[in-house]
């Protein structure tokens, strides 16, 4: 048997983006911060999100049969924090800017959003994997991702992302050399 706390720590070493997954329940918009999100298939296009059985947003996804993955930008740590916890949904959405976009709540100013139809649910341990087929997508090229790593938000990675998106040939290697396509050195 592996140690649960250690497993949790180990999985925290896997750096991820941060999303808020939203759906319309019977009483209005629902949403939860979620990083268990992945692309699954290109043809057909399929992605997955993974919810604790107790997540209220999972009930809303079942109700609507449709959900939106709102991928957060480095400027949206506050949005991520707001969608964690069992506070009333009205409090989570509060004065936040959002709109009904193709049948799911779409948050404003995200890095990217993808609205999906539920195609399948798979129970796995204490979580439910929800598979979705994208029906609508929006993407911004002027924003960088909010990153979650070892239990903390890493906005500084946005600076590194800035360098990754720099034109080829601008990267400087730590040793003083340069390389056209090498990733930037990570320090600090």
Ligand X SMILES: Cc1cc2nc3c(=O)[nH]c(=O)nc-3n(C[C@H](O)[C@H](O)[C@H](O)COP(=O)(O)O)c2cc1C
- Residues near ligand X (CB under 6 A): 18, 30, 32-36, 50-52, 55-57, 83-86, 148
Q: How far is the CB of 35 from ligand X (least distance, A)?
A: 4
Q: How far is the CB of 185 from ligand X (least distance, A)?
A: 26
Give the list of residues 6+ apart from residue 22 with CB closer than 8 angstroms, or none: 29, 30, 31, 57, 67, 68, 70, 98, 104, 105, 106, 107
Residue 175 burial (10 A CB sphere; 0-12, 13-18, 19+): exposed
Question: Which CB atom, from 51 or from 171, has the smaller least distance to ligand X?
Answer: 51
Q: How far is the CB of 6 from ligand X (least distance, A)?
A: 19
Question: Which CB atom, from 14 or from 137, has the smaller least distance to ligand X?
Answer: 14
Q: How far is the CB of 28 from ligand X (least distance, A)?
A: 13
Q: Residue 90 has which token pair?
A: 């009205």
Question: Which CB atom, from 28 or from 85, has the smaller least distance to ligand X?
Answer: 85
Question: Which CB atom, from 13 or from 187, has the smaller least distance to ligand X?
Answer: 13
Q: Residue 10 has which token pair?
A: 């180990």
Question: Which CB atom, from 35 or from 171, has the smaller least distance to ligand X?
Answer: 35
Half-sphere exposure of 88 (CA within 13 A, CB side): 5
Q: How far is the CB of 176 from ligand X (least distance, A)?
A: 37
Q: How far is the CB of 180 from ligand X (least distance, A)?
A: 34
User: Nearest CA to 34 among 6, 7, 62, 58?
Assistant: 58
Question: Which CB atom, from 18 or from 113, has the smaller least distance to ligand X?
Answer: 18
| 25 vs 172: CA distance, rounded Å | 50
Residue 148 burial (10 A CB sphere; 0-12, 13-18, 19+): buried
């Amino acid at each position: 048997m592996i140690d649960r706390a250690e497993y949790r720590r180990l999985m925290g070493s896997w750096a991820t983006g941060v999303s808020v997954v939203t759906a319309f329940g019977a009483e209005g918009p629902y949403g939860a911060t979620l990083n268990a999100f992945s692309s699954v298939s290109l043809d057909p296009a399929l992605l997955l999100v993974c919810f604790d059985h107790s997540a209220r947003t999972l009930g809303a996804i079942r109700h609507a049969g449709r959900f939106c993955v709102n991928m957060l930008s480095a400027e949206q740590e506050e949005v991520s924090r707001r969608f964690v916890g069992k506070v009333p949904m009205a409090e989570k959405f509060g004065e936040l800017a959002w709109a009904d976009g193709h049948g799911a709540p779409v948050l404003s100013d995200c890095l990217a959003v993808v609205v999906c139809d539920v195609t399948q649910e798979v129970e796995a341990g204490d979580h439910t994997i929800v598979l979705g087929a994208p029906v609508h997508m929006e993407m911004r090229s002027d924003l960088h991702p909010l990153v979650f790593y070892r239990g903390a938000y890493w906005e500084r990675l946005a600076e590194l992302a800035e360098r990754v998106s720099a034109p080829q040939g601008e990267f400087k290697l730590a040793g003083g050399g340069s390389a056209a396509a090498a990733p930037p050195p990570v320090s600090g």
